[in-house]
Structure 1
Amino acid sequence: MLALNGFVQRDRVGPIGGEFAAKHVTLLIGPNGSGKSSLLTGAAGLSRSEGQGEVRLAGQALAEFGLHELARHRAMLAQQAILPHGLRGYELLALGAEPLGGVSDEVCMAIARLAKPLGLEALYHRQLNTLSGGEQQRLLIASTLLQVDPVINPDAKLLLLDEPLAGLDWQHQLATLGLLRQYAEQGLAVVASIHDINMACQYADSVWCLHQGQLAACGPPSVITPELIAEVFAVEVRVLAQNGISVMLPK
């Protein structure tokens, strides 16, 4: 779905080659400064820094998409999103619906579908600046998902999220990961960076591990080994297995 060929953001990440497949959840892990955000921003076509290589979405070079067309094909949740001052929660979601032609009955139904798992009902009529960081994050996630909801946007292909779980409690972390799985099952390529290595291995179809701007490992979760963790994160871990699930814990 999204193919990277010799992708480089100078002094940040690359060269990297690979593909984010449709109907797959790919989770990016790596230490701070390893290049995860730069990779996601470049994959979204939003990087302002000098880059090299090629990024193709569904066979078409990303640079060939117009801004409005690109907004219908992919959505990106940035790590440090700037929230418009004075808006209420429902108004933020309305902005997410702009590439779809604005708020329609179908969009309202999609908003209702997102409200329960993300706990949004009590947030819609509150001003964003009165919300906690986690509450704001849940609304931003919903706005991003709405933009490429496959039910209302037949052009949707790619969903990119930079640390969507940051600031969320456990309940909403799990709900968000469940929604990412649903969107992948409906045909999207879903890519997100997270810091919880065990969650990445449990919920991803494939894991990309970045280290100093390079791809240290990629593939099924089994590629994330104690040896890799020691090399990339400088942490010695042990593996515990229970009920068929393996968990890595610091020694």
Structure 2
Amino acid sequence: MLALEDFALAGRVGPVSGEFRAGRLTLLIGPNGSGKSSLLAGAAGLAEGEGRVRLAGRDLDAFDLFELSRHRAMLTQQVPLPQGLRGYELLALAAEPVGGVSEALCRAIAALAPELGLEPLYDRPLAALSGGEQQRLLIAKTVLQLDPKVNPDGALLLLDEPLAGLDWRHQLATLGLLRRCADRGLAVVASIHDINLACQFGDDIWCLHRGRLAARGGPEVVTPELIAEVFGVRVRLLEQDGARLLLPDTEAGC
């Protein structure tokens, strides 16, 4: 779906090569400053670097911005919110790349509302919402942009730390939503800091360290040795009923 060939942004990330595949949820982990945001920006066509980035076999720089917005959606860490809008008006902006508000968009919004707890936010000014409430609306807006009933051209969903500011319930709801987006055929890529949640929900894990890929593969690539090398933290690995859990080894220290 999206292929990176020796992609690099000077002093930030790379060179990195790999593929984000359709139908897969890829989760990026790594310390602060490891290059996750830069990699996502390059994959979204928001940062021009060295190497090659191709979406569905086509060079990313061959898309104009309008065309690109029909094929991929990106949630960045810091989104400037339009002044004076209410919650439902922010969600309506998801329709801009696909011809405006439609009955299909309204149905898609209604389907998302219970999961992300959106209904109480519809008529409230964005400035009156908490950070977590704003984040839930932004996640919904990003997902709606590629909803197959609204936009049949959607292919790639990118989210930079979508769980930031969310309580536990809405973190799990968001990851479940991303899982279903991948099951519908999108290539879904997100950076998160909770390593255990990454291992629980991710099909593929990319671990970045100092701008390079330290590990890539299924959740099994996340080992105590990797965590010690990349994060400088000693952990213990617990396994029960097929689930893996990494816990800080408080007795050993860092």
- TM-score normalised by the shorter chain: which range applies? over 0.9
Alignment of 1:1-251 (within 5 A): 1-47=1-47, 51-251=49-249
| 1:202 to partner: Cα distance | 0.6
* 1: CA distance, partners of 2:247 / 2:95: 41
Task: Note the C-alpha offset of 1:177.
Answer: 0.6
Query: Which deviates the most, 150-159 or 160-169?
Result: 150-159
Unaligned runs of 5+ in 1: none
Distance 1:130 1:152 in 2: 29
* Segments ≥4 residues shifted beyond 3 Å: none
Structure 2 unaligned blocks of 5 or more: 250-254
Q: Provide the secondary structure at the position in 2 that maps to 1:246.
A: strand
SS of aligned partner of 1:97 = helix
Q: CA deviation at 1:242?
A: 2.2
Q: CA deviation at 1:150?
A: 1.7
Q: Which amino acid aligns with 2:220?
A: S
Identity %: 70
CA distance in 1, matches of 2:88, 2:100: 12
Deviations 1:199-248 (A, max 9, x none): 00110000000000000000111011100000000000001122221100
Partners of 2:181 and 2:151 in 1: CA distance: 12
Q: Retained in 2: the 8 A contact 1:150–1:183?
A: no
- Tell me how far apart the structure 2 counterparts of residues 81 and 36 of structure 1 sit (CA, whole Å): 17
Per-residue CA deviations over 1:164-219 (Å, capped at 9, x if unaligned) read 00110111111111110111111100000000000001100000000000000001
Q: Give the match's secondary structure for 1:54.
A: strand
Instruction: Report SS of the residue matched to 1:102.
Output: coil
CA distance in 2, matches of 1:245, 1:177: 17
**Structure 2 counterpart of 1:103, one-letter code:** V
* TM-score normalized by the length of structure 2: 0.97
Alpha-carbon shift at residue 151 of structure 1 (Å): 2.3
Q: Give aligned pairs, total.
A: 249
- What is the identity, as a one-letter code, of the residue corresponding to 2:49? G
Could you tell me how far apart the structure 2 residues matched to 1:66 and 1:168 are? 33
Query: Per-residue displacement from partner, 1:129-188 (whole Å, max 9, x unpaired)?
Result: 000000000000000000011222110000000000011011111111111011111110
Q: Distance in 2 between matches of 1:196 and 1:115?
A: 25
SS for the counterpart of 2:100 is coil
1:27 is matched by which residue type in structure 2?
Answer: L
Distance 1:96 1:31 in 2: 31
